[in-house]
Structure 1
Amino acid sequence: MRKWQTLALALLLGTGSLSCASPAAALGAPKGRDYYEPRGEIVWEVATDDKVVALTFDDGPDPTQTPAILHLLDQYQAKATFFVIGNRVSRFPELVKTASAKGHEIGNHTYNHTYFSAGNTARLFDKEVTLTEESIYNAIGKHSSLFRPPGGYYNSIIVNSSHAKGMQVILWSWHQDTKDWSRPGVNRIINKVLNNLHSGDIILMHDHVEGSTQTVAALKAILPEIQKRGYRCVTVSELMKHQKQAQPVKDSHDESKRSGL
């Protein structure tokens, strides 16, 4: 889906958020990133001084692109998180099983790449996520703990329903949306990642883009350079363990007492 089509869909449906098309936290929604992020209810990136980043791949598995990506990740001792489409997992379970066996993380990305809106979330969420969990469990023998809504759409129903199922909502760093789904060119994908690389980034890519090899080609340059700069590619769950702890706020009254004031 092209950017203008995605934006038009969001405006038509009155979605809770449109992270992929704009940094605006929400279109008409009462709660945005400034509400959810401090609470840890949605994760866009991780505040850390450690040189770790998370590569994430949406919309797979794909019988051609996923194996090529897995081969490259192996080559550079990199781990990644794959947000899979349930109906594709049902078609290619061995690819998901292989990715999991190699130490990569599997996340839920709905069964049909469904775009949620304020009007359809409650009706579709449970069905889409449950069917995907069934296909993931059948492939790897365990459930996922991460959920990424297609298009980055979110609202309170998605957040609350995800947490009720024991799943964390994961989006991506706004400066690390490669838009590889639009086939922007290999160099643009490379430059998007490397020119904006920071500790704690969650990088958005895709391992299923119809008729495109740009993502795989870009990774051939991205992975060695990330390694050369001293960064490690880890799963999203591992990245979250590197979250910098917030400093406790000092009580000025207690400080005054200790100072004898």
Structure 2
Amino acid sequence: MVKWKAAAAFCCVMLMISSPSGASPAAGAKERKYYETRGEIVWEVPTEKKVIALTFDDGPSRKDTPEILKLLAEYDAKATFFIIGKHAERYPDIVRQEVEAGHELANHTFSHPFFNNRSSLDAMKKEIEQTEETITRITGQKPALFRPPGGYYSDRLIDAAKTFHYQVVLWSWNQDTEDWKRPGVHKIVNKVLRNAKNGDIILFHDFVAGQSQTVPALKQILPELKERGFRFVTVSELIGYDQVPHVNQ
């Protein structure tokens, strides 16, 4: 069994914009069930298979992403990286490394704005399109998934994503590690291991201001979940295990 080690907790502010805790509906948005039953937003996947999806937001970063890639390779884990376009432009070599290692790349906007009720449809589309063009230019592959910064969702956001044929993906509500806050390695590890279940989508970040606690947390999380029999798959692979039919309207 993995020994959980406590670490000092630090306060931190994202270099770009701090993420709020948990996915949030923008003003006027419908309840989660509405979008989930229509297959318009995925939070997690109901399955009897022992599979789980690790996701990393806001990268790539020069420091943390390569370390994460090494750990994932060690545990034969595939993950989904939700890429910020401006960071991809800065580190195209790391983006290509992610693809070469068999991971999935997804769209997380170009500059990480929060899409609240004041955001225009055109502004959303521009952010999505810029990142799509950047990732496609670097890798030759068009992403299939989109995650809005901060998890803000609305009908307008869904319309913007549909314009580019994206599936909107958030994360399991019990698996927001809040690692961007640097709450302490123990808290990150505890959040994941206490709540892990089949079909979870776990939220991490591979870009964190200051000294990231994500990498040391993963060193405890990955071997423990593997010992429990979990297999680490990309989000697109996980969606393929969905056992609940949706009504698309």
Could you state the TM-score of these two structures normalised by the residue count of structure 2? 0.88
1:207 maps to 2:219: no
Larger radius of gyration: 1
Assess if the C-alpha contact under 8 Å between 2:107 and 2:145 holds in 1. yes
Q: Secondary structure at the match of 1:200?
A: coil
CA deviations on 1:99-158 (whole Å, 9 max, x unpaired) are: 011110001000001111222231311111111011101111111010000000011111
- Higher helix fraction: Structure 1 or Structure 2? 1
Question: How far apart, CA to CA, are the structure 2 residues paired with 1:175 and 1:181?
Answer: 16
Question: How far apart, CA to CA, are the structure 2 residues paired with 1:175 and 1:61?
Answer: 25
Assess if the C-alpha contact under 8 Å between 2:188 and 2:217 holds in 1. yes
Deviation at 1:22, TM superposition (A): 5.2
80-89 or 25-34: bigger deviation? 25-34
Q: Secondary structure at the match of 1:160?
A: helix
Question: How far apart, CA to CA, are the structure 2 residues paired with 1:157 and 1:27?
Answer: 10
Question: How far apart, CA to CA, are the structure 1 residues paired with 2:128 and 2:167?
Answer: 13
Instruction: Tell me the residue number matched to 1:244.
Output: 243
Instruction: Tell me the residue number matched to 2:159.
Output: 160
Identity %: 50
RMSD: 2.1
Q: Secondary structure at the match of 2:183?
A: coil
Question: How far apart, CA to CA, are the structure 2 residues paired with 1:199 and 1:158?
Answer: 28
Deviation at 1:30, TM superposition (A): 4.4
Question: How far apart, CA to CA, are the structure 2 residues paired with 1:201 and 1:237?
Answer: 13
Q: Secondary structure at the match of 1:239?
A: helix
Instruction: Tell me the residue number matched to 2:116.
Output: 117
Could you state the TM-score of these two structures normalised by the residue count of structure 1? 0.84
Question: How far apart, CA to CA, are the structure 1 residues paired with 2:209 and 2:64?
Answer: 10
Q: Secondary structure at the match of 2:114?
A: coil
Comparing both chains, which one has the higher relative contact order based on Cα–Cα distances under 8 Å and sequence gaps of 6 or more? 2
> Closer, same or farther in 2 for the Cα pair 1:236/1:91, shift >3 Å?
same
Gap runs ≥5 in structure 2: 1-10
Q: Which structure 2 residues correspond to residues 26-175 of structure 1 after superposition, within 5 A?
A: 26=25, 28-175=27-174
